[in-house]
A and B are shown apart, each in its own frame.
Chain A
Amino acid sequence: MLRVSDLHAKVEEQEILKGVDLEVGAGEVHAVMGPNGSGKSTLAQVLAGKEDYEITAGSLELDGEDLQEMAPEERAHAGLFLAFQYPVEIPGVGNSYFLKAAVNANRKARGESELDAMDFLKLLRERATLVDVDEALLRRPVNDGFSGGEKKRNEILQMAVLEPRLAVLDETDSGLDIDALKTVAAGVNALRAENRAFVVITHYQRLLNYIVPDHVHVLLDGRIVRSGGSELAHELEEKGYGGFDGARAEA
């Protein structure tokens, strides 16, 4: 489904990704782990199409389509979803209004009819229940005044409503207490499906106790230095990132 080959990317003249290869098949959950500054978030932003990053070499394909040719919203229409590490606040815009606009923009782009208010509300309630998010969150402005945990839950809710093909979770576990972490993980697990893939980006192994990945990749200094099964995460937990070749000690 997702094929990343020899991906090089830089921001403000500094090369961050130095040849990343990653292949994700439908139904799979991949974890990308790495210390601060290894390029994890850059990878997420590049996948979503953030302007600030320049791809200098390599390729990015989703279902055989070249992502580099697509604007961020076109990638979304193609089924790519990014759960942001720092979800953005949009004061004055209701959360459910925002989501309805998003759902209908995607439906329109895919040639489907737009949902009316009633149908959307039904979908929203159903999805909110699925990922266990309080409906009160829906009535507030997008992320405005949300706690860190609420913001992350809101990302999961958006993911549940938008039903992406490929979901990239950028450090969704950061700053969460254990209860919030469990809720978020349960939400992701509820959405696991044969035709949907996840790339879970994280610094810590902790999240992977709750979202068990099929594959784990270690990203160090802009390259994937090792790949393996879920046991690799436990190895990392014990040895730290310092135990890998070419790696510097964890900051």
Chain B
Amino acid sequence: MPTATDTIEALAERDYEYGFVTDVEQDTAPPGLSEEIIAFISAKKNEPQWLLDWRLQAYRGWLKMVEPRWANVRYEPIDYQSICYYAAPKSDDDRPKSLDEIDPEILATYEKLGIPLKEQEMLAGVAVDAVFDSVSVATTFREKLAELGVIFCSFSEAVQDHPELVRKYLGTVVPRRDNFFAALNSAVFSDGSFVYIPKGVRCPMELSTYFRINAMNTGQFERTLIIAEEGSYVSYLEGCTAPMRDENQLHAAVVELVAHEDAQIKYSTVQNWYPGDKEGVGGIYNFVTKRGLCEGRRSKISWTQVETGSAVTWKYPSCILRGDDSVGEFYSVAVSNNRQQADTGTKMVHVGKRTSSTIISKGISAGEGQNTYRGQVRILRSAEDARNFSQCDSMLIGDRCGAHTFPYIDVANPTAQMEHEASTSKIGEDQIFYCNQRGIDTEDAVSMIVNGFCKEVFRELPMEFAVEAQKLLEVSLEGSVG
């Protein structure tokens, strides 16, 4: 009779569904990092002098920094001189005007990933800015958005077409020397997305980007900047999968959000990069700096993330609540299976009066996965009547995995109200047996129990994304548990 453990192991042996490689000629910089390489990247992108200077400043800062080691993750040292810092599909200088002009092989890749652009364009009403390696190859719905004054384009295009906005906001939320990985990104960032929502505009569709890492031995350094002017609203979706690779691939993205008075930004991520094989070989290293600034009064920033992929994840989407009555939210599901390691959480910095923040974190560990929640809530002296609610729940599947919680609370104003709840549960043999007894097999039982555990986070995701997130969770835990 198959036991729960057998099923978990059988599922763990499933191959990564999205593991394949697309053959597209690359226009690649030689490996290594130097001022020359940075100048090469900047020249490739036809950037203005100020941006090259900005990159070089970041690089010089980075040289003096050391890689952080405080996270609860272990991995082989990264040789930054063996990484290629620029790769673009060859047809770069002749950018396609529509999907018809896109390399069919690239389109086929997206088909395999289950994200047919055309279908999305027509059916889902989602504007897709697809990043293939380092350069955006398709941007849709832009004209429709342009009528409202919404700018949604690749970062490189924004540098060309809206340099004043880029210059005004770049590095204002995540300074170029903020941390080791942010400094590296600032020096070599390749591309990413740029969003600008003008005053009073409610963006009529979910904005979406799919990332895909493909070029051999090429690190990806996305840079995303979203600005929501007074009274505006935008919901941004980010999702990704990656093909199978033998070498570890470094990914160090930076995302900056700025919400002005009464503006709202909802940023949702479903991350499913290649986690490595069962022994942890291959797989993406994901070191991300994401931060939002609630600049204006009553502004609101929500981060929702479903992290199922990567070999190593180091990621703390944060909010700086500067405006009075501003609101920060963080909803997270992080899964570590096999040898995956995730150290993730958030930082809520309360500066303004009556600012409030909510943190709901769900960590799931299976196989030999290690899942760490690391969160900081800081109430500054100026933050009169600030409030925070934190809830960190961990679920363990099997007995070789681990869950760790490091909540840091730092309160400098006595009027603050803080609530913190934490729980750790083992997906019980009892729960599985209960489901089995009702006729539900172990695989479905685990998926049901895990989805129930994550419900509070999933309901924060936009509808079409929630379905995908559940599927991803199933796939990655199927691979692991159920």
**Are A51 and B3 in touch, CB under 8 angstroms?**
yes
Binary interface encoding of chain B residues 436-459 relative to chain A, with 1 for a CB under 8 A from any of its CBs, else 0: 111111101000110111111000
Q: How far is the CB of B314 from chain A (nearest CB, A)?
A: 28
CB of B3 within 8 A of CB of A77, answer: no
Answer whether residue A39 sits at the interface, using C-beta atoms and an 8 A cutoff: no
Q: Is B429 an interface residue (CB 8 A)?
A: yes
Report whether B437 and A82 are in contact in the complex, using a CB–CB cutoff of 8 Å.
yes
Q: Does A90 belong to the interface (CB within 8 Å)?
A: yes
Per the bound structure, the CA–CA distance linking A91 and B456 in Å amounts to: 11
Question: Which B residues from 410 to 456 make CB contacts under 8 A with A?
Answer: 428-431, 433-442, 444, 448-449, 451-456
User: Which of A15-23, A102-110, A196-204, A216-224 sits within the interface?
Assistant: A102-110
How near does chain A come to B460, taking the closest CB pair, in angstroms?
14
A105 vs B456: C-alpha distance when bound (angstroms): 26
**Contact of B122 with A by CB under 8 A:** no
- Mark out the residues of chain B between 450 and 475 whose CB falls within 8 Å of any chain A CB in the assembled complex: 451-456
* In the bound complex, CA of A222 to CA of B453 (Å): 39
Whether, in the assembled complex, A70 has its beta carbon less than 8 Å from a beta carbon of chain B, the answer is yes
Q: A146 contacts which chain B residues (CB < 8 A)? A: none
Q: Kindly state whether residue A141 has any CB partner on chain B within 8 Å.
A: yes
Contact A88 B436 (CB under 8 A): no
> Contact between B431 and A90 (Cβ–Cβ < 8 Å)?
yes
Do A88 and B453 touch across chains, with their CB atoms under 8 A apart?
A: no
Given the known inter-chain contacts A50-B433, A88-B428, A88-B431, please indicate yes or no for A73 contacting B441, CB distance below 8 A.
Answer: yes
CB distance from A113 to the nearest CB of B (A): 16
In angstroms, how far is the closest chain B Cβ from the Cβ of A122?
Answer: 20
Q: Kindly identify, within residues 55 to 96 of chain A, every residue whose CB is under 8 Å from any CB belonging to chain B.
A: 69-73, 75-77, 81-82, 84, 87-93
A-chain residues with CB within 8 Å of residue B452 when the two chains form the complex: 90-93, 141
Q: Report chain A residues within 8 Å CB of B430.
A: 88
Judged by a CB distance under 8 angstroms, whether A158 is at the interface is yes
B431 touches A71 (CB 8 A): no
Given A102-B439, A105-B440, A109-B439, residue A70 in contact with residue B456 (CB < 8 A): no
A98 to B437, CA, bound (A): 12
Give A22 to B231 CA distance when docked, in angstroms.
73
Docked pose: A193 CA to B185 CA in angstroms: 71
- Complex Cα distance, B455 from A141, in Å, reads 11
Q: Does B123 contact A (CB under 8 A)?
A: no
| Residue in B439, B442, B448 whose beta carbon sits within 8 Å of that of A77 in the complex | B439
Chain A residues lying within 8 Å of B431, measured Cβ to Cβ, are: 88-90
Residues of A within 8 A of B146 (CB): none
- Minimum CB–CB distance for A95 against chain B, Å: 11
Q: A50-B433, A90-B431 are in contact. Are A73 and B439 (CB under 8 A)?
A: yes
Determine whether the beta carbon of A102 is less than 8 Å from that of B440.
yes
Residues in B neighbouring A72, C-beta threshold 8 A: 1, 433, 436-437
Give the CA-CA distance A18 to B2 in the complex, in Å. Answer: 26
CA distance A77 to B441 in the complex (A): 11
Chain A residues lying within 8 Å of B436, measured Cβ to Cβ, are: 49, 71-73, 76
Q: How far is the CA of A6 from the CA of B435 in the complex (A)?
A: 29
Partner of B451, one of A88, A93, A102: A93
Q: Which residue of the partner chain, among A73, A92, A102, A141, contacts B454 with CB atoms under 8 Å?
A: A92
Is A48 located at the chain interface by the 8 A CB criterion? yes
Chain B interface helix/strand/loop/mixed: helix
A87 to B438, CA, bound (A): 12
Most-contacted residue by chain A among B431, B452, B453 (CB, 10 A): B452
- Nearest CB in chain A: distance from B429 CB, A: 7
B3 contacts across to A, CB distance below 8 A: 51
With a cutoff of 8 Å between Cβ atoms, the chain B residues found around residue A50 in the complex are 433
A185 within 8 A of B: no
> B448 touching A98 by the CB < 8 A rule?
yes
Given A51-B429, A106-B439, A71–B1 Cβ distance below 8 Å? yes
A76: chain B residues within 8 A (beta carbon): 436-439
Q: Cβ of A101 and Cβ of B448 under 8 Å apart?
A: yes
Bound complex: CA of A70 vs CA of B436, how far in Å?
12
Q: How far is the CB of A85 from chain B (nearest CB, A)?
A: 12
Distance, CA A70 to CA B1, complexed state (A) = 6
Chain A residues in 8 Å Cβ range of B429:
51
Q: Looking across the interface, which residue of chain B has its beta carbon closest to that of A84?
A: B434
Q: Does A162 contact B (CB under 8 A)?
A: yes
> How many Å from the CB of A115 to the closest CB on chain B?
13
B439-A88 in contact (CB<8A): no
**Is the Cβ of B1 less than 8 Å from the Cβ of A90?**
no
Contact, CB under 8 Å: B441 / A90: no
Known: A50-B433, A84-B434. A73 touches B449 (CB 8 A): no
The smallest C-beta distance from A109 to any residue of chain B, in angstroms, reads 7
Q: Which of B1, B433, B438, B442 contacts A102 (CB 8 A)?
A: B438
**In the complex the two chains form, is A48's CB within 8 Å of B441's CB?**
no
- Point out the residues of chain A lying under 8 angstroms from B442, CB to CB: 73
Interface centre among A73, A76, A93, A141 (most CB of B within 10 A): A73
* Chain A, 90-138, CB within 8 A of any chain B CB: 90-93, 98-99, 101-102, 105-106, 109
Closest to A52 in B: B429
Q: Which residues of B contact A93 (CB under 8 A)?
A: 448-449, 451-452
Q: Are A71 and B454 in contact (CB under 8 A)?
A: no
B residues near A75, Cβ cutoff 8 Å: 437
Q: Do B434 and A105 touch across chains, with their CB atoms under 8 A apart?
A: no
Inter-chain contact B439/A71, CB cutoff 8 Å: no
CB-nearest residue of chain B to A93: B452
Interface contact A92-B439, CB-CB below 8 Å = no
Q: Which residues of B contact A101 (CB under 8 A)?
A: 440, 444, 448
Select from chain A the residue with minimum beta-carbon distance to B452. Answer: A92
Interface centre among B430, B431, B440 (most CB of A within 10 A): B440
Chain B's nearest CB lies how many Å from the CB of A23?
23
Question: Within the complex, which residue of B4, B441, B451, B453 is in contact with A105, where a contact is CB–CB below 8 Å?
Answer: B441
Given A73-B440, A88-B428: 4 more A-B contacts, CB < 8 Å: A90-B431, A90-B449, A92-B454, A162-B438
- A residues within 8 Å of B by Cβ? 48-51, 69-73, 75-77, 81-82, 84, 87-93, 98-99, 101-102, 105-106, 109, 141, 158, 162
The 4 nearest A-B residue pairs measured at CB? A92-B452, A93-B452, A72-B436, A76-B439
- Residue numbers of B with Cβ under 8 A of A are 1-4, 428-431, 433-442, 444, 448-449, 451-456
For this complex, 10 residue pairs linking A to B, each with C-beta atoms less than 8 Å apart, are: A51-B433, A69-B1, A87-B434, A88-B428, A88-B431, A90-B434, A92-B455, A102-B435, A105-B440, A158-B438
